[in-house]
Each structure stands twice: as C-alpha cells, then as structure tokens.
Amino acid sequence: MGLDITILLIGLNHKTAPVEIREKLAFKNPSSHPLEKIKKEISSFKEGLFLSTCNRVEFYFILDPDKKNQFLTEFFSFIERESSFKWKDLEPHLYFLENEKAVKHLFEVACGLDSMVIGEPQILGQVKSAYKEALNYRTSGLILNKLLHKCFSVAKKVRTETGIGGGAVSVSYAAYSLAKKILGSLKDKTVLLVGAGEMAELACMHFVSEGVRKVIIANRTLSKAIELAEKFKGEAYSLDELPQALIKADIVISSTGAPNCIITKTMVNSILKPRKYRPLFIIDIAVPRDVEQEVNKLENVFLYDIDDLKSVIEENLKERKKEALRAQVIIETEVFKFQKWLKELDFYPTLRALSEKAEILRQNELSKTLKKLKNLSEEEKKAIEILTKSLVQKLLYYPINFIKKSYHEEGKYAISLVRQIFELDEPFKEISETEIEDLYLKIEEKSQSQENSSKNTDPEGILIQ
C-alpha cells in the first residue's frame, strides 16, 4: 500500500462462532459504546469502526504498521476485560484480515454476500449505523470516511446491477418461513412480536401478508409498540405486560436489543395453564438471546434460535448464489479502485509541493518584470500573467506525468526522484541571477568541449560534413 497504514479487521460471525459466543461480544450495554471505551483505553490506533449484528461482531482499525503488535496486545486485554472469555479460548473463532482483504470483506458484508441470507438488505443499514457511531465518537477519519462512502456506493451498484436482492429473503423472512413450515396455515394464528425495531417490522409485514388473525407488539417503549400496532391494526403491550401477551400468542418472534433474557422459563411456565397448554412456538432472533434455553423443556413449548434458521435459509439461496458471482466482479473492481486511491494518497502532497514552489517562483519573477515595465496597461499585464502561468503549467506537465505514469511500477522511487530534483524537502531560497548564469555558462562550456572532442576523435571523417 502506498500510504503507510494498515487496515485491520478482527471479527467473528455465524460461520466461525455459535450464538452463545457471539452474544457475549455484542456489547449491548446502552450506557457505554465499545468505541468510547477503546478510544479511552487504547492509544495505538488511528481510526476505528465497530459493527455488531445478530450474525457478526467486527472491529475495523486503521493503524501505523509499526504499532500493530502494541495495538493487538492492548486490544486482546480489552476484550478479556469486557467479556467472560480468555483470549486463547476466543481466538479460534476469530478471523483477522488486513488491507485489501479487509476492504473486500467489508464490501461483501455491506452487499449481503457474507450474511446468513445472501443479499439481505438489512445489513447495509446496520453498516451505516456503525459508521454514524464512529463519526459520533470521532474514530473515523480520512481513510474510514473514504472506505465507508465507497462501501455504500458499491452496495448500491450491486443492488442496481444484479438480482442479489430478488425475493423476500431475510432473517425475518426465515422466521416467518419456519413458523409456516411448522404450523402450515397461519390464518387462525396470533403472532406476538417482542421488540418494535426494524427486524420486528419486517417480520410483521410477512405475517400480515399471510393473513394472520392478529398481531401483538410488546416493547420496552410503549409508544413505539403503539405506533407499530396501529400500522398493522394490532395490539400494543409494554414488556411489563409480556405474560398477558404470551397467553394470547401462538407464535412469538423476539428481536429486542436487551442485554439479558426477557422471556424466562418461570415466566412461560406461569402462563401455560391460562393458555390451556396450547402449543407455543418461540423463534428467538435476538443476539444476545432474549429467551432462556430452559424454556424448550416445557410442555408444548417449542423454542428456536437464530442458528436454527440456517436450514430454512438454505432453501432460499440457490438463485441468489448465481447473482452473487456477478456481485463479486463488481466488488473486485471497486476494491482495486480503492487500493489505487490509497496508493495515490502519498504522491498528491508531492504534486502540491511542486506546484506551490513553481507558483512562488513565477510570482517572484513576474513581480520583478512588472516593476521594470512600468508603462504597461492592465490588459498587457494580464497577458503576461497568462503567459507565465501557461509556461509554468506546461513545464510542470512533464514531472507530474512522470510521477503518475511511473508510480504504480516504480513505487516511491518516482516521488523521491522528483522531490530531490526540485529540492522540495529543502527550505525555499531565492536563486540569484548570478547562480543561474554561472550554471548555464558551465553547461554551455561542457557541451562545446564534448562537441570538439567528438570531432577530433573521428579519423574517418564520418561526422565531418
């Protein structure tokens, strides 16, 4: 990479870690964001982004390469303090990607290629939210800003130019499909959605389209539950009223952001008799999980978590996998463009320094000339100004073109050479007329000497006309 930085991704997802590990690293405590803590406790990184969804936990960092080892030591300690894991137990579930591979992975995530459901659109909104948090905590700078904006444009391009988003496929849809697969017709069923976020709303749309008898929304903030219930002509409850809502439900879809279980074995056991032991299907798509595993042991209660949705999701992937190949071509192209931008970052300061030095010289010489030509009209002065600008631009064309053409082949050699030739790392000093005259006089003398020497060593008269 041209710029002397490392892009480092450390993460785990549904492919590398089960839900019981992912949920302990989800950092769902509303009182403190992991970026806020990392910024206070770790000083060896430049920029940072934290992405947490039901299927993944990922950290993206911009580092100085020579601080990488120090950063990893500090980060490992941070993770051990914030979770119940020892690093040696957690490490087998993690993936570490750097630079181009990290960029490609982020693009794939935003496009839904790395999701449990290929092409699901919800992940892009979650990446955008993660970026907003990075901006909020001032951990995003030049590199992450460019990377994330490029990421969003890539996702839009993939959505527009491929069929990756075709069909109603998402974790919410998978939950709906599982319920339908188990129960058959849903027309006489009551669905309880615990949580009123985007996931709940998407699930609601699927169930309502199937014609369920009733939708119930239970949420910590009652006003949000009421808002969603009105939209789908359902009933709203607060979480304090959850037992009453559970009595009415046939299917429960839970998707809150609560740090601990909100549906316990004790709670469900207490409502079995009022329900007359009707079958209760609970699909927990929250991370951390909303429902205690022990609930599954109760009579006529059937609990499924997000990992159980994998088999349902597989059935919806065949067509999207074909489109994913087209999406990969777009991603590869955009990764190359981003890498090129990174590489070019370090030669723009050289181009700017060269242009600025040439402009100082031009202004100085123009000022001297105009002082001698006192009777010039404004039009004539303007003509000389244009002439000198044009001359400088045409002369600079050659070193600038040399840098651009040579950069990707010669690395930093082209930049180093131009900086030396034009003394761009030296303090600016005015060159006297005497110095210039002496230099050109020596060139003329050397040229004349070589020409005479060439003629004297031409015994056969080949060069003598």
Tracing tokens 């002065």 back to the chain, one arrives at: 381
By the 8 A CB rule, do 242 and 263 touch?
yes
Instruction: Report whether 54 belongs to an annotated binding site.
Output: yes
d(CA 215, CA 208): 8
Instruction: Report whether 55 belongs to an annotated binding site.
Output: yes
- Please give the single-letter amino acid code of residue 30: P
d(CA 465, CA 446): 22
d(CA 293, CA 313): 22
By the 8 A CB rule, do 324 and 166 touch?
no
d(CA 128, CA 255): 20
Instruction: Report whether 126 belongs to an annotated binding site.
Output: yes
DSSP per position, 168-187: S-SHHHHHHHHHHHHHS--T
- Give Cβ neighbours of residue 448 (< 8 Å, ≥ 6 apart): none
Instruction: Report whether 195 belongs to an annotated binding site.
Output: yes
Instruction: Report whether 134 belongs to an annotated binding site.
Output: no
Instruction: Report whether 199 belongs to an annotated binding site.
Output: yes
3-state secondary structure of 465: coil
Sign for the pseudo-dihedral over CA of 428, 434, 435, 436? positive
Instruction: Report whether 1 belongs to an annotated binding site.
Output: no
Sign for the pseudo-dihedral over CA of 99, 100, 105, 110? positive
Q: For 346, how many CA atoms within 13 A lie in the half-sphere containing its CB? A: 17
Q: Which residues of 112-135 are buried (b: 16+ CB within 10 A; e: fewer)?
A: bbbbbbbbbbbbbebbeebbebbe
Which residues are marked as active site?
54
Distances (CA, A) of 12 to 22, 90, 139, 316, 368: 7, 10, 21, 24, 66
Instruction: Report whether 120 belongs to an annotated binding site.
Output: yes
Instruction: Report whether 269 belongs to an annotated binding site.
Output: no
Instruction: Report whether 457 belongs to an annotated binding site.
Output: no
Instruction: Report whether 225 belongs to an annotated binding site.
Output: no
d(CA 3, CA 339): 10
d(CA 199, CA 173): 10
Instruction: Report whether 185 belongs to an annotated binding site.
Output: no
**Tokens linked to 213:** 């008898």
Annotated binding site for NADP(+): 195-200
Annotated binding site for substrate: 53-56, 115, 120-122, 126
Annotated binding site: 53-56, 115, 120-122, 126, 195-200
